[in-house]
Chain A
Amino acid sequence: MTCFSKIFLLLPAKSLHRASFVCKAWFKLINSSNFVEAHILQAEPVVIYLKSVSPPRPKMFSIEDNLSLSKFSRRETANSPVHYLSYVEVQNGEGKVIESNISDFQNILATCNGLVLATRKDTRGLLVINPVTRRVLPLPRGTILLYAECYHSYGFVFSHLSREYKVVHLFRDESKSIACEIISLTTRSWRAVNGPSSEHFHTYFSRKPVAANGSLHWLPCGGGCSCIVSMGIDDEKFYTRILPNRSRRNDRLVEIGGLLSFVTHVVEDTLEIWILKESEGEGWVKRHTITGSGIRNLVPTCMMKRGRELFFVIERENHLCAYDMETLEMRAVEFDGVALWRRHIYFSYLPHINTLASW
Chain B
Amino acid sequence: MASAPENEKNASAPEKKTLTLKSMINNEEFVVDEHVALQSVTIKNMVDSDCAGDVIPVPTISGEILALVIEYCKNHANPSASEDDLKKADAGIVAKDIYTLIDLVLAANFLDIKGLLEVTSQKIADSIKDLPHQDVREIFGVENDYTPEEEAAVRAEHDWAFEGFP
Residues of A within 8 A of B (CB): 2-4, 6-8, 10-12, 14-15, 17-19, 21-26, 61, 101, 133-134
Q: Hey, which chain A residues are within 8 Å of B145, CB to CB?
A: 23-25
Q: Hey, which chain A residues are within 8 Å of B160, CB to CB?
A: 61, 101, 134
Q: Which 9 A-B pairs have the closest CB atoms?
A: A10-B125, A3-B109, A15-B129, A7-B121, A22-B137, A18-B133, A6-B121, A23-B142, A21-B133
Q: Which residue of A lies closest to B108 (CB)?
A: A3
Q: Hey, which chain B residues are within 8 Å of A11, CB to CB?
A: 125, 128-129
Q: Are B140 and A22 within 8 A (Cβ)?
A: yes
Q: Are A10 and B136 within 8 A (Cβ)?
A: no
Is residue B25 within 8 Å, beta carbon to beta carbon, of the partner chain?
no
Interface size class of B (residues with CB under 8 A): 20 to 34
Is residue B9 within 8 Å, beta carbon to beta carbon, of the partner chain?
no
| Minimum distance in angstroms from B57 CB to a CB of chain A | 21
Q: Which residue of A lies closest to B110 (CB)?
A: A3
Q: Are B133 and A22 within 8 A (Cβ)?
A: yes
| Minimum distance in angstroms from B67 CB to a CB of chain A | 20
Q: Are B144 and A22 within 8 A (Cβ)?
A: yes
Q: Hey, which chain A residues are within 8 Å of B136, CB to CB?
A: 18-19, 22
Q: Which residue of B lies closest to A3 (CB)?
A: B109
Q: Are A17 and B137 within 8 A (Cβ)?
A: no
Q: In the bound complex, how far is the Cα of B105 from the Cα of A153, in angstroms? A: 48
Q: Are B146 and A23 within 8 A (Cβ)?
A: yes
Q: Which residue of B lies closest to A8 (CB)?
A: B125
Q: In the bound complex, how far is the Cα of B131 from the Cα of A12, in angstroms? A: 12
Q: Are B140 and A10 within 8 A (Cβ)?
A: no
Q: Hey, which chain B residues are within 8 Å of A2, CB to CB?
A: 109
Q: Mark B126-166, 1 if CB is under 8 A from A, else 0.
A: 00111011001100101111100001001100101110010
Q: In the bound complex, how far is the Cα of B105 from the Cα of A79, in angstroms? A: 52
| Minimum distance in angstroms from A76 CB to a CB of chain B | 21
Q: In the bound complex, how far is the Cα of B125 from the Cα of A4, in angstroms? A: 10
| Minimum distance in angstroms from B149 CB to a CB of chain A | 14
Q: In the bound complex, how far is the Cα of B137 from the Cα of A4, in angstroms? A: 12
Known A-B contacts A3-B106, A3-B109; the reply to A22 vs B142 at CB < 8 A is yes
Q: In the bound complex, how far is the Cα of B151 from the Cα of A56, in angstroms? A: 31
Q: Hey, which chain A residues are within 8 Å of B129, CB to CB?
A: 11-12, 15
Known A-B contacts A11-B128, A23-B146; the reply to A18 vs B161 at CB < 8 A is yes
Q: Hey, which chain B residues are within 8 Å of A19, CB to CB?
A: 128, 133, 136
Is residue B122 within 8 Å, beta carbon to beta carbon, of the partner chain?
yes
Q: Hey, which chain A residues are within 8 Å of B144, CB to CB?
A: 22-23
Once A and B bind, how many residue pairs between them come within 8 Å at the CB atom? 65
Contacts A21-B151, A134-B158 aside, 5 further interface pairs with beta carbons under 8 A come to A8-B125, A11-B128, A17-B158, A21-B158, A25-B145
Q: Hey, which chain B residues are within 8 Å of A133, CB to CB?
A: 158
Which residues from 82 to 107 on chain B have a C-beta closer than 8 Å to any C-beta of chain A? Answer: 105-106
Q: Hey, which chain A residues are within 8 Å of B122, CB to CB?
A: 10
| Minimum distance in angstroms from A45 CB to a CB of chain B | 18
Contact of A18 among B105, B109, B132 (CB under 8 A): B132
Is residue B32 within 8 Å, beta carbon to beta carbon, of the partner chain?
no
Q: In the bound complex, how far is the Cα of B130 from the Cα of A15, in angstroms? A: 7
Q: Hey, which chain B residues are within 8 Å of A25, CB to CB?
A: 145
Is residue B117 within 8 Å, beta carbon to beta carbon, of the partner chain?
yes
Is residue B124 within 8 Å, beta carbon to beta carbon, of the partner chain?
yes
Q: In the bound complex, how far is the Cα of B140 from the Cα of A3, in angstroms? A: 12
A-B contacts, 13 of them at CB < 8 A, read A6-B117, A7-B105, A10-B122, A11-B125, A11-B128, A15-B128, A15-B130, A18-B162, A19-B136, A22-B133, A22-B137, A23-B143, A24-B146
Q: In the bound complex, how far is the Cα of B128 from the Cα of A25, in angstroms? A: 18
Q: In the bound complex, how far is the Cα of B162 from the Cα of A17, in angstroms? A: 10
Contact of A3 among B105, B130, B142, B146 (CB under 8 A): B105
Q: Hey, which chain B residues are within 8 Å of A61, CB to CB?
A: 160
Q: Are A10 and B154 within 8 A (Cβ)?
A: no
Which residues from 49 to 98 on chain B have a C-beta closer than 8 Å to any C-beta of chain A? Answer: none
| Minimum distance in angstroms from B66 CB to a CB of chain A | 17
Q: In the bound complex, how far is the Cα of B126 from the Cα of A228, in angstroms? A: 42
Q: Hey, which chain A residues are within 8 Å of B165, CB to CB?
A: 18
Q: Are A7 and B146 within 8 A (Cβ)?
A: no
| Minimum distance in angstroms from A38 CB to a CB of chain B | 13
Q: Which residue of A lies closest to B155 (CB)?
A: A21
Q: Hey, which chain A residues are within 8 Å of B146, CB to CB?
A: 21, 23-24
Q: Hey, which chain B residues are within 8 Å of A134, CB to CB?
A: 158, 160
| Minimum distance in angstroms from B25 CB to a CB of chain A | 18
Q: In the bound complex, how far is the Cα of B145 from the Cα of A24, in angstroms? A: 6
Q: Hey, which chain A residues are within 8 Å of B132, CB to CB?
A: 18
